[in-house]
Structure 1
Amino acid sequence: MLTVVISGVYSVEAINPSGSKRESVKVEVFDTPGEPVGPITFSDISEGKVTLSWNPPENDGCSEVTHYIIEKRETSKISWTLVTDECLASTYTATKLIKTNEYQFRVSAVNRFGVSRPLDSAPVIAQMQYTVSDSPGTPDATDVDGESITINWAPPTHDGGNPVKYYIVERREKKTGRWLKVLTRKPIVEAAHRVTHLTENVEYEFRVYAVNDAGIGAPSNISMPIKCAEPTEVPDAPSIVNVNDTTNTSVSLEWTRPAYDGGMEIHGYIIEMCKGSEIEWHRVNEDLCGVTKYNVTGLETGAEYKFRICAVNSVGKGRSQRNS
């Protein structure tokens, strides 16, 4: 019968009527290494490439693992092909993959006595696991003077599975067809930006794109025209906000225009709501509401809500008025 000897420290004891004697013996069994410890994990998956990672074998065969052999196969085929036989670390980036094909990888450890059994991976497709982000919210003006306009916007509701890295802002003079990219020294990483070097008393429109590792997403809606002029004042709050009608999932709001518009045209209104005892307000309408009524839908049946409304002119948002 074949007995497998495991490396370790063994004790031998001899006993006779006069006493006993114990000695320890260190036994090392030289062999090929055990298979690498899995699972094989994948990261940085993109078009045509993927990074594999694994753990070294628990049993190195009493000889240092010198390198790893990596093989691959398309799951529709039986044969394996060599990726590399010179991998010195427990991670490797495989390239030149066909992005629509599904692959399986296997990794073997090597020491001076030979090659281990391979560790097989789960199937993987070498293509980006995310898409471009949704469009950002419509830009609004928060500050205006004679040579600049500061705008802000809501981040995309869905980033495509990959964080937004920065934003691209474009501007044009009102009703002209040519959009110009706003040039910046550093990427725009916040959902706000001060656009400078504008012409006084000219009205501008803006739109914003979100960018992640998948590329540039769709543009936001175009902002209301914003006049580049020294500020006067923001408008007052609407005088009265009433709830005219309700259903299980909607509320119909109506309000009166502000008594004072800040000395310039009111572009529209922003409706915000707050649920129950919460303290955070959320914007309801992405685009400015151009009339003095609005139907809020998609509400939770039986829940209590608070609403507030503010007017917006070229200077910015005015004070809010809550529903009575």
Structure 2
Amino acid sequence: MTENGSPVSGYVLEILDVKQEKWSTIEDNVTSTKYTTTDAKAGMEYQFRVSARNKEGIISKPSEPSNILKPYDKPDAPGTPIGEIIDNAKIKITWSPPMNDNGAPISGYIVEKFYVNMFKQGKWSTIKDKVTPTEYTIDDVKTETVYQFRVSAQNIGGQSSPSEPSNTVTLYDKPDSPENLTAANIGNATIMITWSPPRKKSGSAVIEYMLEKLDVKEGKWSTIKDNVTSTEYNTPDVKPGSEYKFRVTARNRESVSTPSEPSNAIIPYDLIIMQDILRESIDILCDYLNPEDVLPGMKAKGAITDTEVKQIRDQNTDPRRVEKLLDILRHKPSLLRYNTFMEKLNAKRPDLHQKVKELEDMKHNA
């Protein structure tokens, strides 16, 4: 290539700010036929032209102006990310795209994390770059560690400033299982379930419990209540004569424990029937023996007091006394013998006699 017979030794590159309509030199000794300029400003419109120069310093006429170009700028920062625990083991981060991409599509995002401590010291580190959706899930999460996250956007114009930091996110260890689960009849087809909190305080504090029951015959667990905040619960959702077991799961802010060991098996009984049995039983005892002989013997056993006898007669008592009464009849020689009592009960109230036998069968099979 020559200029007036002399070889071309370089080029003069000029730029025009279309708005100002004034040409200015970018570089006056470009030795190749391509050039990258950083003098342009994003959002402005430019044209370029080139002149050739030979060794004698003679400069050609400028070329025709280039097409009008508008340089890209880096995008604005994305929206503030939100972090949340998923599957009790991962952290999912979501965010919104920048309000302005400044002329070039977003090509990806850079996700960073920060370990939060009481001094707010440390540095941000990149987890993943070139993330294309506006969400990212982190699998490698340490428990009992407080995290924050931020996101930057990228386009052909460069990388944006980071977003505002996310909310703090902590993955806690799941709580241990509740312990010492017991089930007891309190009458009227109602079971009282009690338990102890988890012995080991893993993770954050337990905030509630989920209670389940198992119909032994059906062999299927079902939820009774999923937001119990104390360590006991009375469940009326049982059928007299059916056999049940229970279990409890503890829940803290982020996760749930494995279920407790099942409770003892228990068969609910009907309050009215049990009160009727007690009342008739006391009447038989009082008819058969001198009350002065009966009641002191019962008090000596520590099972039934004078006040409780009155409560039985008033049909206002704890039906669990039936089991204690039957134990007294078996093991206390000074009182009416069990077999004799059952004979008299059968003669007076065959229906109640049958219920007592059923109760004994329940107790024997439990």
TM bucket (normalised to shorter chain) is 0.3 to 0.5
TM-score, reference length from structure 1: 0.39
Q: Which has the higher contact order (CA 8 A, sep 6+)?
A: 1
Q: Which structure features the higher share of strand residues?
A: 1
Of structures 1 and 2, the larger Rg is shown by 2
TM-score, reference length from structure 2: 0.35
